[in-house]
């Protein structure tokens, strides 16, 4: 991270200048300026090569080449020291989910589970081992979150609340050595679980409206104000609390009192989303907080700290969506196999196949964005643009998967109590809102993308007009054009360079032809984004801030192109047919969205082919996902058709006979070849005996996915299990 301090605090930001020049009210310019400054301060924490202007997305849009190598993270190393803690933590979640003991009497993740996870090392994943943590690289952490989310999305979400937006990231990134030594060991061990308290009743999207204040009184701050929607807000736990100190945003690490009192109260309300964890309001009335708990970033203020953690939280959200969608797809398949209409299972219908294939495509795209964004974070990039793309795509994909694909396929049963959709619909939709509502974030993405270009070319033009006292510039007016002749010349040179300067288009050796097509399409799109964004600025000039729909439209196209590019390259790295086919589907969908073309018959055939493979158990990504009972089963009673188990992915183990002590035989014989040969003959004979026993006349013992069949036939112990 860069250590060079700058005086950005005192400078007027680009947004502030633009809004003032564009005639916005003083208050709006000042508030947006504060947000923009916080953003620039985060920027200055990073070494120049990792700042937004040098990020892959910025380069792709404004430079003459899409830096393919920055969109294609290398595969993760096979193992890392944090793996043991990850496996143990995963087992805790899986075990409690299977035993039905994840939740307490309030239907919240129980303190036993939180404690078991603490023992496993879950809460210290992102904390340096010297403070008792696991030191997980972020890319490994997010991949792990996907795995956990398949089992339980709330557990996965809590790891992000604690580690990314909660107290962990602010302290490890901005804490002094003394603060790190004081807080991190307790945060790593799970003794202190944490959340992040930013939102207030009057301040959500507009964080500058925040009113909670801290006043220094002797050796402590007194905090007064109210927070709303705070996840993991429980007496005795910790929060990274954003307050105003002397009118500037700041972050205090607050250990919430164990009991409510005059200075601290919880505000309880009924909340549909995040129902398995506590989410509450917090009221403070001169709550004392030691002054040593104030985090002081080298530059910037509390919003700087908030934005840093939110970036990580946004990638984690995409990772969790990838896990939740795996669980949805794993639950959709048995139902589509079971449900028959007009005499055939709905899994054979093209409409349903489209949903299966689309869901696989969304999963692969979320995996791709998560891995890519997390890799950039590990490399040291700020990753703001990249994290926003992942957050928006992840939350929208999960929403589509839940409603358009999962709910519609499950029909009326979706709304039964006990159904995965009905029980979790709010959980599945809420990510569109928390950590920044998608469309508002899309505007932030666009503003970040054009900021440097605006500063370079449009701010000087605006300032020249302002200096000349021209309130309504019109370049057709020769006097107006004369005023900005120097600035216009610089801009014209840039435009000509863009139009005629040529672009480098790279190919990736050995890439599947389907993916290669998407790769060159994406590069082609990037060839014109710079000019398009610039043209929007030129047209609307300093009023562009009011053209939100235009900004949103452009923003969404750039984001879609990034998703397409990253997904195609991710599939290329994976080199397996199902991932490639799923990536191809989502890339074709994105291309059609971008070009407005209609789907071809070949596309529908691709969908069906991929769906058939997935229905046949060929999508490894969903292996091991828990599958709920089908509700209101009916065949046996109504149709007299025996239910056959789904052909979803599963692992099978067939144990024939008693265990053989190979070591003892080797000792006895002394010849490896002879032992292998006798073992092979023996095994063949045991299998033959087993097959003879089953025989054509005997019904094959039903394997229903849960039951263990343990038959003792003719001296052979036979056990078959399907997991
Ligand atoms: C389940 C859940 C968990 C949460 N957990 C936390 C937490 O742990 N900590 C925390 O601090 N917060 C948390 N939040 C709060 C969350 O981050 C906010 O709800 C979110 O940022 C949106 O703020 P808001 O609800 O006040 O929406 P508002 O600010 O009221 O905005 C409503 C909508 O108005 C529109 N809008 C607003 N401003 C503009 C604009 N300038 N231009 C165009 N349109 C605009 C947007 O569509 C926006 O979404 C949580 C929320 C939920 C639902």
User: Is the C-beta atom of 432 inside 6 A of ligand 1?
Assistant: no
Can you read off the two tokens belonging to residue 225?
């104000």
Name the residue of 36, 165, 193, 205 to mutate for ligand 1: max ligand atoms within 8 A of Cβ.
205
Question: How many whole angstroms separate alpha carbon 107 and alpha carbon 236?
Answer: 20
Task: Report pLDDT for 14.
Answer: 67
User: Is the C-beta atom of 205 inside 6 A of ligand 1?
Assistant: yes
- Per residue in 602-625, is it b (16+ CB within 10 Å) or e — as a string? ebeebbbebbebbbeebbebbebb
- Least Cα distance to 282 among 195, 216, 355 occurs for 195
DSSP class of residue 457? I
Q: Are 150 and 294 in contact (CB under 8 A)?
A: no
Positive or negative, the CA dihedral 358, 362, 365, 367 is negative
User: Is the C-beta atom of 207 inside 6 A of ligand 1?
Assistant: no
Task: Report pLDDT for 721.
Answer: 37
Q: Are 96 and 42 in contact (CB under 8 A)?
A: no
3-state SS of the chain: helix, strand, coil percent to 5?
60, 10, 30
Where exactly are the structural domains of the chain? 652-722
CA-to-CA dists, residue 670 to 661, 665, 681, angstroms: 14, 8, 18
Question: How many whole angstroms separate alpha carbon 581 and alpha carbon 512?
Answer: 10
Question: How many whole angstroms separate alpha carbon 317 and alpha carbon 323?
Answer: 10
Can you read off the two tokens belonging to residue 223?
């905090």
Please report where in the chains the tokens 């190979």 appear, as a residue: 662
- Per residue in 207-238, is it b (16+ CB within 10 Å) or e — as a string? bbebebbbeeeeebbbbbbbbbbbbbbbeebb
Question: How many whole angstroms separate alpha carbon 103 and alpha carbon 107?
Answer: 5
Return the residue whose CA atom lies nearest to atom 32 of ligand 1: 205
Distance (Å) from CA 431 to ligand 1 centroid: 11
Instruction: Render pLDDT for 130-158 as a digit per residue (tens, 0 to 9).
Output: 999 999 999 999 999 999 999 999 999 99
User: Is the C-beta atom of 196 inside 6 A of ligand 1?
Assistant: yes
Please report where in the chains the tokens 């018959």 appear, as a residue: 601
Task: Report pLDDT for 699.
Answer: 45
Task: Report pLDDT for 715.
Answer: 36
Positions of the chain with pLDDT under 70:
1-14, 21-22, 542, 635-654, 693-723
User: Is the C-beta atom of 195 inside 6 A of ligand 1?
Assistant: yes
User: Is the C-beta atom of 434 inside 6 A of ligand 1?
Assistant: yes
Distance (Å) from CA 213 to ligand 1 centroid: 20
Q: Are 22 and 542 in contact (CB under 8 A)?
A: yes
- Per residue in 243-257, is it b (16+ CB within 10 Å) or e — as a string? bbbeeebbbbbbbbe
Can you read off the two tokens belonging to residue 68?
């393919």
Question: How many whole angstroms separate alpha carbon 16 and alpha carbon 459?
Answer: 11
Element (H, E) at 368: helix 350-379
Q: Are 479 and 487 in contact (CB under 8 A)?
A: no
Name the residue of 193, 203, 396, 434 to mutate for ligand 1: max ligand atoms within 8 A of Cβ.
434
Please report where in the chains the tokens 């000087």 appear, as a residue: 460
Question: How many whole angstroms separate alpha carbon 360 and alpha carbon 648?
Answer: 13
Return the residue whose CA atom lies nearest to atom 23 of ligand 1: 204
Q: Which atom of ligand 1 is nearest to the CA of 433?
A: 20
Question: How many whole angstroms separate alpha carbon 488 and alpha carbon 475?
Answer: 10
Q: Are 244 and 212 in contact (CB under 8 A)?
A: yes
Task: Report pLDDT for 700.
Answer: 45
Task: Report pLDDT for 690.
Answer: 74
Q: What are the backbone angles phi and psi of residue 282, rounded to the nearest 5°? A: -125, 135
CA-to-CA dists, residue 637 to 63, 337, 640, 643, angstroms: 66, 18, 6, 11
Name the residue of 274, 438, 440 to mutate for ligand 1: max ligand atoms within 8 A of Cβ.
440
Q: Are 508 and 565 in contact (CB under 8 A)?
A: no
Q: Are 560 and 590 in contact (CB under 8 A)?
A: yes
Element (H, E) at 594: helix 577-595
Task: Report pLDDT for 703.
Answer: 41
User: Is the C-beta atom of 198 inside 6 A of ligand 1?
Assistant: yes
Name the residue of 437, 441, 445 to mutate for ligand 1: max ligand atoms within 8 A of Cβ.
437
Task: Report pLDDT for 644.
Answer: 58
Helix (H, G, I), strand (E, B) or coil at 675: helix
User: Is the C-beta atom of 273 inside 6 A of ligand 1?
Assistant: yes
In sequence order, which residues have a C-beta less than 8 Å from that of residue 585 and are 6 or more positions away? 357, 358, 360, 361, 603, 606, 607, 610
User: Is the C-beta atom of 250 inside 6 A of ligand 1?
Assistant: no
Return the residue whose CA atom lies nearest to atom 43 of ligand 1: 440
Name the residue of 306, 433, 551 to mutate for ligand 1: max ligand atoms within 8 A of Cβ.
433
CA-to-CA dists, residue 343 to 167, 396, 636, 647, 691, angstroms: 56, 35, 15, 19, 33
Task: Report pLDDT for 641.
Answer: 53
Distance (Å) from CA 681 to ligand 1 centroid: 68
| Secondary structure (DSSP) of 513-528 | HHHHHHHHHHHHHHHH
Task: Report pLDDT for 722.
Answer: 35
**542-551: Cβ within 8 A, 24+ apart:** 542/18, 542/19, 542/21, 542/22, 542/23, 542/458, 542/462, 543/22, 544/18, 545/15, 545/18, 545/19, 545/22, 545/24, 545/32, 546/22, 548/443, 551/442, 551/443, 551/446, 551/447
Task: Report pLDDT for 696.
Answer: 52
- Per residue in 151-170, is it b (16+ CB within 10 Å) or e — as a string? bbbbbbbbbbbbbbbbbbbb
């Amino acid at each position: 991270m860069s250590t060079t301090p700058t005086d950005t605090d005192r400078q007027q930001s680009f947004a502030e200048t633009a809004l003032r020049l564009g005639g916005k009210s003083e208050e709006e310019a000042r508030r947006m300026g504060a947000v923009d400054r916080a953003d620039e301060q985060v920027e200055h924490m990073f070494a120049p090569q990792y700042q937004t202007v040098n990020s892959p997305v910025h380069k792709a849009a404004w430079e003459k080449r899409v830096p393919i190598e920055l969109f294609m993270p290398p595969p993760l190393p096979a193992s890392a020291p944090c793996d043991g803690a990850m496996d143990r933590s995963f087992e805790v979640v899986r075990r409690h989910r299977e035993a039905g003991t994840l939740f307490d009497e309030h239907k919240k993740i129980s303190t036993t589970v939180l404690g078991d996870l603490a023992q496993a090392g879950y809460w210290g994943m992102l904390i340096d081992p010297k403070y008792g943590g696991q030191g997980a690289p972020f890319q490994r952490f997010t991949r792990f979150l996907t795995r956990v989310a398949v089992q339980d999305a709330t557990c996965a979400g809590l790891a992000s609340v604690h580690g990314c937006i909660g107290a962990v990231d602010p302290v490890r990134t901005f804490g002094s050595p003394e603060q790190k030594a004081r807080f991190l060991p307790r945060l790593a061990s799970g003794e202190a679980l944490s959340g992040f308290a930013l939102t207030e009743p009057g301040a959500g999207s507009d964080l500058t409206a925040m009113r909670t204040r801290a006043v220094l009184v002797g050796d402590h701050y007194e905090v007064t104000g109210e927070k709303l929607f705070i996840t993991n807000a429980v007496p005795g736990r910790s929060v990274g609390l954003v307050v105003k100190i002397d009118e500037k945003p700041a972050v205090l690490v607050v250990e919430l009192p164990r009991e409510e009192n005059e200075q601290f109260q919880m505000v309880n309300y009924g909340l549909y989303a995040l129902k398995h964890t506590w989410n509450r309001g917090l009221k403070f009335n001169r709550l004392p907080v030691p002054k040593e708990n104030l985090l002081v970033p080298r530059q910037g203020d509390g919003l700087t700290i908030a934005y840093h953690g939110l970036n990580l939280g946004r990638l984690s959200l995409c990772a969790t969506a990838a896990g939740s969608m795996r669980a949805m797809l794993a639950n959709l398949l048995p139902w589509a196999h079971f449900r028959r209409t007009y005499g055939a299972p709905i899994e054979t219908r093209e409409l349903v196949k489209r949903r299966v294939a689309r869901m696989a495509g969304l999963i692969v795209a979320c995996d791709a964005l998560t891995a890519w964004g997390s890799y950039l974070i590990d490399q040291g990039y700020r990753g703001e643009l990249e994290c926003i793309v992942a957050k928006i795509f992840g939350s929208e994909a999960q929403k589509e998967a839940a409603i358009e694909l999962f709910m519609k396929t499950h029909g009326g049963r979706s709304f039964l109590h006990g159904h995965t959709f009905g029980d979790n619909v709010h959980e599945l939709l809420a990510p569109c809102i928390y950590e920044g509502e998608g469309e508002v974030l899309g505007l932030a993405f666009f503003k970040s993308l054009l900021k440097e270009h605006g500063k370079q070319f449009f701010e000087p033009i605006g300032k020249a007009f302002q200096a000349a006292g021209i309130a309504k510039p019109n370049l057709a007016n020769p006097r107006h054009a004369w005023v900005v002749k120097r600035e216009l010349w610089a801009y014209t040179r840039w435009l000509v360079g863009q139009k005629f300067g040529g672009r480098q288009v790279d190919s990736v050796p050995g890439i599947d032809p389907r993916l290669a097509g998407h790769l060159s399409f994406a590069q082609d799109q990037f060839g014109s984004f710079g000019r398009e964004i610039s043209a929007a600025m030129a047209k609307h000039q300093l009023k562009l801030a009011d053209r939100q729909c235009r900004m949103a439209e452009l923003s969404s196209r750039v984001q879609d192109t990034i998703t397409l590019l990253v997904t195609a390259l991710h599939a290329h790295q994976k080199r397996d047919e199902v991932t490639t086919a799923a990536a191809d589907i989502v890339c074709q969908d994105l291309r059609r969205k971008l070009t407005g073309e209609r789907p071809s018959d070949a596309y529908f055939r691709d969908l069906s082919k991929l769906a058939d493979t997935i229905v046949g158990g060929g999508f490894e990504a969903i292996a091991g996902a828990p599958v709920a009972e089908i509700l209101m089963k009916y065949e046996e009673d109504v149709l007299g058709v025996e239910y056959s188990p789904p052909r979803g992915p599963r692992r099978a183990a067939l144990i024939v006979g008693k265990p053989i002590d190979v070591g003892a035989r080797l000792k006895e014989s002394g010849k490896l070849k002879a032992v292998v040969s006798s073992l092979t003959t023996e095994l063949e004979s045991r299998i033959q005996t087993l097959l003879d026993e089953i025989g054509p006349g005997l019904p094959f013992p039903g394997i229903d996915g849960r039951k263990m069949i343990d038959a003792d036939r003719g001296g052979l112990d036979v056990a078959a299990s399907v997991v």
